[in-house]
Amino acid sequence: MKSGIRVTTLPNGLRVATDPMPHVATVTVGLWIGVGSRHEPDAANGVAHMVEHMLFKGTPTRDAFRISAEIEDVGGHLNAYTGREHTTYYAKVLKEDLPLALGVLADMVQHSLFDAGELEKERQVILQEIGQAEDTPDDIVYDHFLATAFRGQPLGRPILGTAEVVGALPRPALTDYVAGRYVPANMVVSAAGNVEHEQLVELALRLFTDLPAGDGARAEQARYCGGDFREERDLEQTHVILGFDGVGSHDPDLYTASVLSTLLGGGMSSRLFQEVREKRGLVYGVHSFTWTLADSGVFGIYAGTGPERVGELVPVICDEVTKLTATLGEEEVARARAQLKASQLMSLESTTNRAEQLGGQLLVYGRVIPTSEVIARIDAVDAAAVKRVAGRIFGSRPTLTALGPLAGLEAYDRVAARLA
């Protein structure tokens, strides 16, 4: 991704970026904002996500219905999400509706009312969302995993917040958060699809005139801790995540860690899938993942199994981890490289994916990374590099998280000893 891409910085510091795809009839346009739950004050966990919800609830010129209806009236799609480091608002529309879509997004971000009545209604919606997450063990186990991996830190807090905090967040907590963090220097307007750069720049100059000044907020340095968390629940399955200290977005081992994750648990031909599911029938689903941050990251393995099999599952996973460096060959690495390259190139067929890559790269790296550079870095990964990074990652203190029936799960020290 680079050919045809253009980036312009407006006088107020807002970056405007386009990735043209003239052969399509649509465009995805959005605001990528470099703040998330790790930028929240301790006493306001959940405010970033609550702000995201409230920006859909009305401005002086559009009520909540009009915000969504104006996009849907032309067949478009409007959405948003909050992460630990970024918050995103975006719309996908036909190319001729780009001015409408960006106008709605600009209005939401700059002029939302945070009406007291709407706030109380949305508070109840979010409390229901928190309850739903708690009732979804294969979802909430990830929150417990991060809370253990980054114990006592903003990164370890749930994006949704807790019911206790969200239930009491006052309106000024939301408006102060926006005023201090939704600033031009920390934002990117990104569009991909049938879009002309000059048109988007002109629109942004006209529409984004009321953003607050400032340089955003810095996040507390991440410190991976590791450790053990387990919660007994009356469930049909025990949900387990075994994780390790990983790599950050700027780490030179970033792509090697991705190759490692792919060959270990990234597909049906991966080691974990073949050994844990195909050969032993211990699980329906098992996979590994890398989660990168600006200054840190984690490498994890998720699996869910019946309580009578968890005593066998975790030792098998540990065995796959410990034997990897001794048994890895170039053919296996080549297959993982091919999977990663194909995934990267296939993602470029989507306007939304391309707009997201463009906005995210400018926030994280301050530049657009050409697809050719990404492919070259993947191609440079060989078996020796994977073995080295596996030693680095799996040599860290493990994080073990489990929800469900726990009687068969080994003690943390025993699991750690298997990995030593």
390-413 tens-digit pLDDT: 999 999 999 999 999 999 999 999
Query: Domains along the chain?
Result: 6-207 (3.30.830.10), 227-419 (3.30.830.10)
CA distance linking residue 216 with residue 92, whole number of Å: 27
Q: Is 118 an active-site residue?
A: no
CB 316 within 8 Å of CB 276: yes
The full DSSP string for 197-226 is HHHHHHHHHHH---PPPS---PPPPP----
Is residue 198 predicted with pLDDT exceeding 80?
Answer: yes
CA distance linking residue 357 with residue 349, whole number of Å: 12
Summarize the confidence of residues 132-148 as an average pLDDT.
97
Q: What average pLDDT does the structure give for the chain?
A: 96
Is residue 237 predicted with pLDDT exceeding 90?
Answer: yes
The two tokens of residue 380 are 């440079």
Summarize the confidence of residues 96-103 as an average pLDDT.
98
Closest CA relative to residue 301, chosen from 252, 362, 260, 342 = 260
pLDDT at 214: 82
Which residue among 40, 52, 122, 320 is the active-site one? Answer: 52
The pLDDT tens digits of the residues spanning 353-402 come to 999 999 999 999 999 999 999 999 999 999 999 999 999 999 999 999 99
pLDDT at 286: 97
CB 93 within 8 Å of CB 24: no
Q: How crowded is the C-beta side of 312, counted as CA atoms within 13 Å?
A: 12
Is residue 3 predicted with pLDDT exceeding 90?
Answer: no
Closest CA relative to residue 24, chosen from 101, 102, 93, 91 = 93
pLDDT at 224: 98
pLDDT at 215: 80
Phi, psi (deg, nearest 5) at residue 91:
-140, 145
pLDDT at 125: 98
Is residue 218 predicted with pLDDT exceeding 70?
Answer: yes
Residue 186 CB neighbours (<10 A)? 23
pLDDT at 88: 98
Summarize the confidence of residues 33-59 as an average pLDDT.
96
pLDDT band for position 213 (50/70/90)? confident
Is residue 1 predicted with pLDDT exceeding 90?
Answer: no
